[in-house]
Copies of this chain bind each other. A is one copy, B any other.
Amino acid sequence: MDASLRLDIQDLYTDYAACIDEGRFEEWPEFFTEKCDYKIIARENYDRGLPVSTLFFESKGMLKDRVYSITKSLFHAPYYQRHIVSTPRFLKEEPDGSMRTEANYLVLRTRQNTLSEVFSTGRYVDVVMRENGRLKFREKLCVFDSELILNSIVYPL
């Protein structure tokens, strides 16, 4: 894979993290193709091939619905997120031009009047492809390591 494409995929990951961390949630679905899978799933289930996920959205419409919940209807204490994401691994280029990529992530959470704390850590297991010239996620699995969750996951990981 050439250096320029690799750096473009790296940018996809950093732009994605910045979008969420800055709370620009209405832009978040635009990182996905029209048909897409977004899952938050415990590593314990993922490693055994068990399908049960904490969250599972399977279209951009469902992502937009989630954004509506987050910003308009869910009652929750607000918090900041901060993503630290490793450089992605490039695992496979499929015949249809899509690419399997993975990256380790750490999300820190900061609530009002508290110190920043480790909120979630795990691995993104993704399929990236171009749609209208722009790199997007066709699949994004957030495979988190701890089956315990601090309070609840409100914002996207």
In the bound complex, what is the Cα–Cα distance between A108 and B70 (angstroms)? Answer: 28
Are A145 and B108 interface neighbours, CB within 8 A?
A: yes
Residues in B whose Cβ lies below 8 Å from that of A104: 17-18, 21, 82-84
Main secondary structure of the interface of A (DSSP, over half): mixed
Complex formed: what's the CA distance from A53 to B18 in Å? 22
**Contacts A121-B110, A150-B115 known; A145 to B89 CB distance under 8 Å?**
no
Q: Which residue of B lies closest to A14 (CB)?
A: B89
| Nearest residue, chain B, Cβ from A110 | B145
Query: Could you say how many copies of this chain the assembly holds?
Result: 3
* A82 contact from B116, B117, B122, Cβ within 8 A: B122
B89 touches A15 (CB 8 A): yes
Within 8 A of B (CB), among A1-52: 3-4, 6-7, 10-11, 13-15, 17-18, 21, 43
